[in-house]
Structure 1
């Protein structure tokens, strides 16, 4: 017989799958410190570590639950889809790290003389177990429970449990889930007493009739049991029912109403939590409780930067709270069932769940899907076993509203068999599987990373037809979800608002799940004590996929990235549209009204709060809109904004009162017209323009001095500057994954500047240059027109491309370096966080202050970050309050960092970034958008930055200690959206 790690079978000796529940029967946790020994292969491991008298005193100690690679034994491996071993199913290499675990534990004297069960909630990837020297069985299916009957082997007092875990097994071919390959007993281990006549399992059916408000409840058990739910006036009634209950409150993600009670026999009492809800596909729409729902979801891997997938209660609760606080209403458990406690928290706090089986065979795509187990009958038992263990474990959770068969496992009859079994076992939930592109055996049409225009066609049910008319009619009649979209890798994703607009516009398009929730960085410490997060390749892997594993909306330490803030804004369940006379409030919740919210307003003038109040808003029903009069405030001579925020009126289990759920903002002053051209020199202030030899001083314009060789500004008053000069480069973001190869090939990261000429006259200094990369005949003519502006300078930059530019450029603007002491930044524009062309909605106009260091976004792999958009003015000052002030005409995009774009480009981790002896500043007209090009559609056409002729105006002047930020004149500062389509639209005259 083949060794267990080479078998198609999923296991041997296990008890039937069942639900997980809390019971008053004794339970003994076996978590803690175990003895551990790692061998490089099965052969090297030798005989199983089963003997009771085996001397393991020289073995290491290992924390269980835990992964051995994260506790100093072996190394993590990250691949996205490539198997890190030869594709030779069901076999794995002889070099198969094998971890032997041993635990001595005491069974208390009070332990009953009844049946006993040993439960493993998760072991990766294949294991066998022995108790007191006797074999119990073995199992695969890493993220699924396995139980063994230990009644005959358990002893009073001292017991010895031995577990051998193989890193690789036949099961590894079914677990290629775009995550770290990590091994060991990573979920709880428990000893459970099973009283005679106890409750081995139960199934709750709690349907809700939205037309009558009645609930229908039954609880099926293998043995007769009595059910008590006092709130439903059910006390010690036979559990089987069914019981029709009038006027129940239904369960939903928005109002997660649970009715708690007990189920008991003479020997055991278990807790039940009932949520009444009905899931159905009606006329091609996915409904819950008779209402269409929209998934504002994320894909969630289980992760902790130090413990990997060995999560504790605090981790899981933090996940649910963070998601709720960021307006997420749904989770797809990519790509395996989560720890059961997570689902209980989703029941309690309210999240829709797509529960996905522990199955992915993605690595077979590397060999043209040859040998893929999904269509091989030898693997069918393993496929059905994995599905049954998930369904039986999770069947009683009201939060679980869809079963998902697998992820990226090709197609085949084994998947069809899973769907058929599940439909027979639980007809109350729809079935999902994205790789069933014809949707023949699923109830939801699902796709990944479709471009916006294709989603639009699907919303109109106008997608290209299938060749089989019956299959086409079936698929065209299904609801549609994007099971993965908007790849949140590094800086991004972009285009979220465009997708959300389609979900709002088309009933068939019922939302989606951003990839993904959390960066899977592993916390490491450099020898100098600085911390950072490691990714693929940092552990010497032979094969790896680099930082593709850090692709979440939240950083590894669960801090929200700008992408999470943007997603929260785009999916907010209340839409607040503000204009001059009224506020339009639209309820985008699926179920509930707005009575739990308070609508607070704030009036700002030039970024400074002037007045606040509360709007009287009725309890708007789901899907309805109400118009409320805006507060009557006078319009002054400066730019003014009205911001309206929807905040929690009282404490909720997931957030305190005052937590902001949604907001809207609008400029209340009439939009002005940006000034055209450079203003005339004021009378009586004719500038001094002088030229020295090239070896001496350069041209001067008032208090400004320019370099005689390059024509660049090098001093303004007492401040020494470097630049500004035209800049087209940014340190590529992860979503520039393919485009940046063109940028590098054309040399945009190594532009050279040639001075054509310097002219003075009419109170101006004109510097003409050509900027171009080596080896190419394309370039840009850049003309800098300098003129006095009060006590500073106004720069008009005119850009004229030459040659063929076959691609958009990363950025268009100016770069300069200022003294390192100017570390304090204040600005009036969008903030407080970064914003880009297709990801700016979460940044509101206001007045903000930060240090240069605080303006950086610590992406795990350094890249372009920290851009502040639609900036009217900004100051950079030192400890004495003096420095520089920049003003846009009308606006610019600001980036200030303690290192250069080249430093960012070269860095692999945050610890590679070392502050320079200058602050590097970018004053940009625009940047190219973000998109999802790391794994999905790139930047939409309207957010591409094409090298067209443009003119950009910005002023610079000294800022003195004690100077305020200053009001922005409403005749100079409009509030255009932060998009290249707008900010690049100024014509050659600057209009």
Structure 2
């Protein structure tokens, strides 16, 4: 059949699509309007649900005439709307970061252009007679033609923006037929090359809207505050539309401002005269004395009712809207909200769901917003497109600043060396400007939006200048952002991505810059990480013009799948045969795909804490509490404190701290009873938590906002595991291969040929079956992406062990074994001369000292330095004194406090979508592993150590591509590590800081093993 190729005609952005307007629902009366529920409006009807669907590889292969009313579709399949067709059995998901998955030849797209034909019936009720009926699509990827009752209505493209059509001329009361033909590729796709899955179809709500012939077509709400930010003015620009041939006289529009409890604050009435077939605009200014101001910390919302009445004073329609009084401005090199320079503690958020793709349900949006609030996040960037309109309602309600970003990215042009190919081409100007226009018009009434972002990673050129000019002209109440306007030619805020700490420091020092700086993306949270967050925030707080940033990103984009035997995993690029792809680069969030928080989220929560506490005089119990909220006092929190040792609370209490205002600090005295004396052989800690004292709409009373810890006494000593107790004699037998050591209650076999323990048993139960042996390797993490090549070129993953000498000294109650080895990779040009010194006592106490001297052409860094060993499968119960309870690493451990923690080997594991090194615990003084009956051993550090334990080998984890590739071994791999290379965020961001990098140098560390029952008091 002949098909008009609107989808790759740059001159056709739409046909018959209505002008952009604000998102709102019209109601029949004030009572239903104040519910703000779509279902309470008799003028709104969702068309979500099951539609008939036909899939073809090209538009030309779609059924000819399928849009006709009498076309039979009984044999078509059913498909859910909203939804992506690739997740319902048609085509396949395809993930790329910046690669266009087809040849670059704008505006042309491939002839193989997967196409979905949709059909359904819908009904127009009798009470809609005389109304104009609008058909609205909130999002269709990436373009579509529309028919109603066999008649062509129009065309639209631009995936994540609404499209409205007046279908009044095409419908009748009762049953009607709707047909849509959607295309995977349009010329608009060149502007939609975001880092995400390519997913197609009708993926947001579809609705019918009935409008009276004379109605409110649009409105723009602006709030102003005076110079002292005390009194305000509510300004409303309202557009009325007359679709009849009659002149509308003596009409009235009433504006009623209500507070959050629906009590009237102000009321204004305006008379209007509506000329036939014309749009009329009315502007009103309503002064409001001392309005309560909206911010992310104080998300106070007024209720505005816009009521259109006829000459008889009868209501035609009521439109409700939530109002937040707030003022955004640039002053002295900062952006201010309500006169205060704020700090962005933000995240980037893609719309994604593990089962539904981009058809994100409302409850999932709300879950995201609540989780952000609970984790101290105060801002979200809608990377990289306008979100579902209901998401902004949630941000208004709960309190999140929003950088609203246009649906525009053409990153793939960078790969062909012509990054600004269409960005600097005036032929594309209309397509660019339309992207910002449609977003601003839809979202302009949301107080949560503080910045309009022109798009993402598309170079810079004349079309972005045109977008910025339009945006500034249309809305002077917000700021304009675009990261690639590096010189600040048209934007209000200078931005950068993944700048390392040194660059950020330099940005902070710039004195000739009159615009603030934020990081719109930083700290790439891919897999295990990010590291170095604390150092970022130390710099942000240091310099006035640095106002925080948005971490990349909120949630992994993995899609849920199951193995043949029913085990769940999350798929990424390449798992669907999608080529080319960027593998698991879509799994880079602070949440797992199912919204399970990662250790990185807990770390971020701690780093961006809104309350800080520091010691003043701990001997008097004095600490300084600093309120670093931007607006609110600390009257909503209490300070919970306790004194603990050996994992037990010795004292505790609660302090109220309500009088500390935003930006202020105060010295508080914790009422510690210092008259109580404790005979301790361990450390004494003061633990502090700041806890919600009241219920909020995002968390209940008792929710922990942040925490800290101070050491009161440093009493820990290895002497608690001392050998000074009774030491029985040893029975020792030695031959050319083994040293057999037998004590009163243990046996140890040492393999002289391998230079390591072959087996160790306690009371006849095996507790150690192999090792310990020097280990330098970790299963690579995503943030090792670029250093891994160097590590493998240097053969760190393939080191071999040569035993040079084994010397034995045998005494009645003690055996000393000295092992000298050489560690080096095959064909290696570097090595480590290593010495193990064992002292084995008759009471089952084993002291081990490890010395290493690297030489040769050494690697630039090591992944780790430590010991690896194998334990019986049953040694699954873990207890330790150190940081916990969660995973931590050298550059990501602020969230974990010192204490005694209990876990299991299974629970130590962090199931990153792409398996990698995980589960480490830092700053550990001792760790015990025992079986269910308590039989095992404790490892004691002379200084702090790291440990991790898995049912998988390092090689198992490295080879696995998904969590389901991992099969438990019949033993436990235990790592006792001296030092680690930092995590950093170098999958896209910076390498670990210098002091977190493990540079090869001579090392020595000491540990001890004590065989024991768990019941023993250690």
State the TM-score, normalized to the length of structure 2. Answer: 0.91
Mapping 1:306-325, distance limit 5 Å: 306-325=355-374
Contact (CA 8 Å) 1:607, 1:845: kept in 2 or not?
Answer: no
Name the CA shift for 1:85/1:160 in 2 (closer, same or farther; >3 Å): same
Selected match of 1:550 from 578, 587, 591: 587
Mapping 1:473-492, distance limit 5 Å: 476-492=513-529
Contact (CA 8 Å) 2:637, 2:656: kept in 1 or not?
Answer: no
**Cross-structure match for 1:230:** 258
Output the CA distance in 1 between the equivalents of 2:534 and 2:179: 53
Secondary structure of the residue that 1:419 maps to in structure 2?
A: helix
Per the TM alignment, residue 715 of structure 1 is displaced from its structure 2 partner at its CA by 2.6
Secondary structure of the residue that 2:380 maps to in structure 1?
A: strand
Output the CA distance in 2 between the equivalents of 1:852 and 1:151: 65
Say if 2:919 is the partner of 1:858: no
Output the CA distance in 2 between the equivalents of 1:302 and 1:142: 13
Per the TM alignment, residue 47 of structure 1 is displaced from its structure 2 partner at its CA by 2.8
Secondary structure of the residue that 1:379 maps to in structure 2?
A: helix
**Cross-structure match for 1:131:** 148
Per the TM alignment, residue 681 of structure 1 is displaced from its structure 2 partner at its CA by 7.4
Contact (CA 8 Å) 1:766, 1:784: kept in 2 or not?
Answer: yes
**Cross-structure match for 1:469:** none
Say if 2:655 is the partner of 1:615: yes
Per the TM alignment, residue 354 of structure 1 is displaced from its structure 2 partner at its CA by 0.3
Per the TM alignment, residue 679 of structure 1 is displaced from its structure 2 partner at its CA by 12
Output the CA distance in 2 between the equivalents of 1:687 and 1:409: 76
Per the TM alignment, residue 513 of structure 1 is displaced from its structure 2 partner at its CA by 0.4
Selected match of 1:288 from 334, 337, 362: 337
Name the CA shift for 1:435/1:781 in 2 (closer, same or farther; >3 Å): same
- The Cα offsets for residues 522-574 of structure 1, whole Å up to 9 and x where unpaired, read as 00010011000000000001200000000001000001100000000000111
Name the CA shift for 1:614/1:682 in 2 (closer, same or farther; >3 Å): closer
921-930 vs 762-771, greater mean Cα deviation: 762-771
Output the CA distance in 1 between the equivalents of 2:481 and 2:446: 17
Per the TM alignment, residue 935 of structure 1 is displaced from its structure 2 partner at its CA by 0.2
Per the TM alignment, residue 623 of structure 1 is displaced from its structure 2 partner at its CA by 1.1
Say if 2:767 is the partner of 1:739: no
- The Cα offsets for residues 435-473 of structure 1, whole Å up to 9 and x where unpaired, read as 1111100000000011101111111116xxxxxxxxxx5
Secondary structure of the residue that 1:375 maps to in structure 2?
A: coil
Output the CA distance in 1 between the equivalents of 2:268 and 2:485: 46
**Cross-structure match for 2:837:** 785
696-705 vs 380-389, greater mean Cα deviation: 696-705
Selected match of 1:326 from 375, 385, 398: 375
Say if 2:748 is the partner of 1:704: yes
Say if 2:940 is the partner of 1:940: no
Say if 2:434 is the partner of 1:385: yes
Output the CA distance in 1 between the equivalents of 2:266 and 2:641: 47
Contact (CA 8 Å) 1:569, 1:842: kept in 2 or not?
Answer: yes
Output the CA distance in 2 between the equivalents of 1:403 and 1:309: 22
Selected match of 1:251 from 264, 276, 294: 294
Say if 2:624 is the partner of 1:572: no
- The Cα offsets for residues 586-613 of structure 1, whole Å up to 9 and x where unpaired, read as 1111111111111100111122222210
Selected match of 2:956 from 894, 903, 916: 903
Selected match of 1:17 from 14, 17, 20: 20
Mapping 1:653-672, distance limit 5 Å: 653-670=697-714
Output the CA distance in 2 between the equivalents of 1:441 and 1:148: 34
Selected match of 1:603 from 640, 643, 652: 643
Per the TM alignment, residue 716 of structure 1 is displaced from its structure 2 partner at its CA by 2.6
Name the CA shift for 1:484/1:680 in 2 (closer, same or farther; >3 Å): closer
**Cross-structure match for 2:684:** 640
Structure showing the higher strand proportion among its residues: 2
Say if 2:551 is the partner of 1:518: no
Say if 2:844 is the partner of 1:800: no
Contact (CA 8 Å) 1:716, 1:958: kept in 2 or not?
Answer: no
**Cross-structure match for 1:586:** 626
Output the CA distance in 2 between the equivalents of 1:615 and 1:27: 51
Output the CA distance in 1 between the equivalents of 2:573 and 2:229: 55
Contact (CA 8 Å) 2:229, 2:338: kept in 1 or not?
Answer: no
**Cross-structure match for 1:562:** 599
Mapping 1:749-760, distance limit 5 Å: 749-760=797-808
Output the CA distance in 2 between the equivalents of 1:437 and 1:696: 68
Contact (CA 8 Å) 1:49, 1:163: kept in 2 or not?
Answer: no
Contact (CA 8 Å) 1:114, 1:196: kept in 2 or not?
Answer: yes
Contact (CA 8 Å) 2:420, 2:458: kept in 1 or not?
Answer: no
List alignment gaps of at least 5 residues for structure 1: 463-472, 967-991
Output the CA distance in 1 between the equivalents of 2:481 and 2:179: 38
Per the TM alignment, residue 366 of structure 1 is displaced from its structure 2 partner at its CA by 1.0
Secondary structure of the residue that 1:646 maps to in structure 2?
A: strand
Q: In the comparison of the two structures, how many residue pairs are matched?
A: 951
Output the CA distance in 2 between the equivalents of 1:366 and 1:591: 45
**Cross-structure match for 1:262:** 305
Name the CA shift for 1:22/1:684 in 2 (closer, same or farther; >3 Å): closer
State the TM-score, normalized to the length of structure 1. Answer: 0.94
Per the TM alignment, residue 680 of structure 1 is displaced from its structure 2 partner at its CA by 11
Output the CA distance in 2 between the equivalents of 1:584 and 1:523: 47
Output the CA distance in 2 between the equivalents of 1:515 and 1:869: 25
Contact (CA 8 Å) 1:699, 1:708: kept in 2 or not?
Answer: no
Output the CA distance in 2 between the equivalents of 1:577 and 1:664: 9
Secondary structure of the residue that 1:782 maps to in structure 2?
A: strand
Output the CA distance in 2 between the equivalents of 1:733 and 1:515: 17
Output the CA distance in 2 between the equivalents of 1:497 and 1:372: 39
**Cross-structure match for 1:776:** 828
Per the TM alignment, residue 844 of structure 1 is displaced from its structure 2 partner at its CA by 0.8
Per the TM alignment, residue 631 of structure 1 is displaced from its structure 2 partner at its CA by 3.2
- The Cα offsets for residues 730-779 of structure 1, whole Å up to 9 and x where unpaired, read as 00000000111111111111211111111123742211111111111311
Per the TM alignment, residue 209 of structure 1 is displaced from its structure 2 partner at its CA by 3.0
**Cross-structure match for 2:734:** 692
Contact (CA 8 Å) 2:688, 2:707: kept in 1 or not?
Answer: yes
Name the CA shift for 1:242/1:775 in 2 (closer, same or farther; >3 Å): same
**Cross-structure match for 1:338:** 387
**Cross-structure match for 2:207:** 190
**Cross-structure match for 2:970:** 917
Secondary structure of the residue that 2:736 maps to in structure 1?
A: coil
**Cross-structure match for 1:809:** 862
* Structural RMSD (CA): 1.9
- The Cα offsets for residues 121-155 of structure 1, whole Å up to 9 and x where unpaired, read as 00000111101111111111100000001010111
Output the CA distance in 1 between the equivalents of 2:168 and 2:723: 96
Output the CA distance in 1 between the equivalents of 2:999 and 2:727: 39
Name the CA shift for 1:671/1:422 in 2 (closer, same or farther; >3 Å): farther
Per the TM alignment, residue 212 of structure 1 is displaced from its structure 2 partner at its CA by 4.9
**Cross-structure match for 2:33:** none
Output the CA distance in 2 between the equivalents of 1:230 and 1:88: 54
Output the CA distance in 2 between the equivalents of 1:666 and 1:714: 42
Selected match of 2:409 from 360, 363, 367: 360
Output the CA distance in 1 between the equivalents of 2:818 and 2:227: 73
Output the CA distance in 2 between the equivalents of 1:603 and 1:207: 50
Per the TM alignment, residue 630 of structure 1 is displaced from its structure 2 partner at its CA by 2.8
Per the TM alignment, residue 949 of structure 1 is displaced from its structure 2 partner at its CA by 1.2
**Cross-structure match for 2:498:** 449
Output the CA distance in 1 between the equivalents of 2:57 and 2:688: 62
Output the CA distance in 2 between the equivalents of 1:419 and 1:647: 43
Output the CA distance in 1 between the equivalents of 2:909 and 2:392: 36
883-892 vs 320-329, greater mean Cα deviation: 883-892
Output the CA distance in 1 between the equivalents of 2:356 and 2:658: 47
Contact (CA 8 Å) 1:765, 1:786: kept in 2 or not?
Answer: yes
Output the CA distance in 1 between the equivalents of 2:917 and 2:671: 40
Output the CA distance in 1 between the equivalents of 2:213 and 2:723: 98
Per the TM alignment, residue 615 of structure 1 is displaced from its structure 2 partner at its CA by 2.5
Contact (CA 8 Å) 2:635, 2:659: kept in 1 or not?
Answer: yes
Per the TM alignment, residue 698 of structure 1 is displaced from its structure 2 partner at its CA by 4.7
Output the CA distance in 1 between the equivalents of 2:606 and 2:143: 43
Output the CA distance in 1 between the equivalents of 2:783 and 2:630: 32
Secondary structure of the residue that 1:225 maps to in structure 2?
A: strand
Contact (CA 8 Å) 2:859, 2:1000: kept in 1 or not?
Answer: no
**Cross-structure match for 2:819:** 767
**Cross-structure match for 2:247:** none
Output the CA distance in 1 between the equivalents of 2:1014 and 2:718: 29
